[in-house]
Amino acid sequence: MQLLNIKKLKFLHCGPMSIQVNADEIIGLSGASGSGKSLFLRALADMEPHDGVILLDDLNQQDIEAHLWRQKVALLSAETSWWFDTVGEHFDEIAEDSLSALGFSKDCLQWSISRLSSGEKQRLGLLRIMQNKPEVLLLDEPTANLDKRNTQLFESFVKQYIENNSACVIWVGHDLEQLQRISPQRYEIEEGRLINVD
């Protein structure tokens, strides 16, 4: 079942790009630095001006308010920002099993932001964005700062989520081995074009 339908998307010097993503599917996306991978994700989340049509089921991105769209199509950027003093203040409520699935215990909610490592920020950032129960997850190099064990936890957590929620994922990364492992469908951005590289 098709979930995300991107038609003739253009932004900056990139595009037109067209791609369909089905429910329960993970699309791996790679490309050289500066090729526009992050901008691509930002355009999908409507954080960047763009042309073209982006549909979620039958819902056009431009037909609902931007913040409601971003709750459904959630972007986890490579660098997460935290504005309160402690981790817990950034969460409404969080189930203990989600925390432990990513290797945290309940005490982490008391941690102060300044002591978080970049890997902890990435994992907690995923949990934070999951609070909106997004239908589409856009992950921008989400495991770049994680060790092997935490990368595994992260991958299986994401897989579990999309299976349970019929969601889909666009996963941007540099680690080709990882992209092959998690997704049968791999794309690359080259000179502003989206190329299928199975």
Partner 1 sequence: MLIELSSLDLAMAGTLVVLLGALTAYMQLGISKQLYIAAARTTVQLLLVGLVLKSLFASTSLAFILLIAFIMISVAGWEILSRQKRKLKGWWGFGISTGSLFVSSFIITLLCLMTVIQADPWYSPQYAIPLLGMLLGNTMTGIALGMDRLVQNAWQQRPVIEQRLMLGQTADESISDIRREAMRAGMIPIINSMAAAGLVSLPGMMTGQILAGAAPVEAVKYQILIMFMITSGTGLGVISVLWLISKRLFDERERLCFKRLLKDTGTQYK
162: left (phi over 0), alpha (psi -120 to 50) or beta: alpha
Q: Which of 117-152 are b and which e, b meaning 16 or more Cβ less than 10 Å from the residue's Cβ?
A: eebbbbbbbbbbbbeeebbbbbbbbbbbbbeeebbe
Q: Assess 38 for contact with partner 1 (CB under 8 A).
A: no
The contacts of residue 82 (CB under 8 Å, 6+ apart) are: 90, 113, 116, 121
Say if CB 23 and CB 168 are below 8 A apart. yes
| Rounded-to-integer distance, Cα 145 and Cα 122, Å | 8
Using rule CB under 8 A, residue 70 touches partner 1: yes
Compare residues 53 and 66 and give the one whose CB is closer to partner 1. Answer: 66
Q: Which is nearer to partner 1, 85 or 191 (CB)?
A: 85
- Candidate ranges 5-13, 76-84, 158-166, 176-184; the one touching partner 1 (CB under 8 A): 76-84
Is 112 a binding residue for partner 1 by CB under 8 A? The answer is no
Q: Which is nearer to partner 1, 91 or 111 (CB)?
A: 91
Say whether residue 182 binds partner 1 (CB under 8 A): no
What is the C-alpha to C-alpha distance for residues 104 and 97, in angstroms, rounded to an integer?
A: 9
Is the separation of the CB atoms in 19 and 194 below 8 Å? Answer: yes
- Which region, judged by CB under 8 A, interacts with partner 1, from 11-19, 59-67, 105-113, 180-188? 59-67
Q: Taking CB under 8 A as the rule, does residue 55 contact partner 1?
A: no
Among 13, 67, 115, 148, binds partner 1 (CB under 8 A): 67
Q: Which is nearer to partner 1, 80 or 183 (CB)?
A: 80
- Asked if residue 49 binds partner 1 (CB under 8 A), the reply is yes
Where does this chain bind partner 1 (CB under 8 A)? 45-49, 65-68, 70-71, 74-77, 79-83, 128-129, 131-132
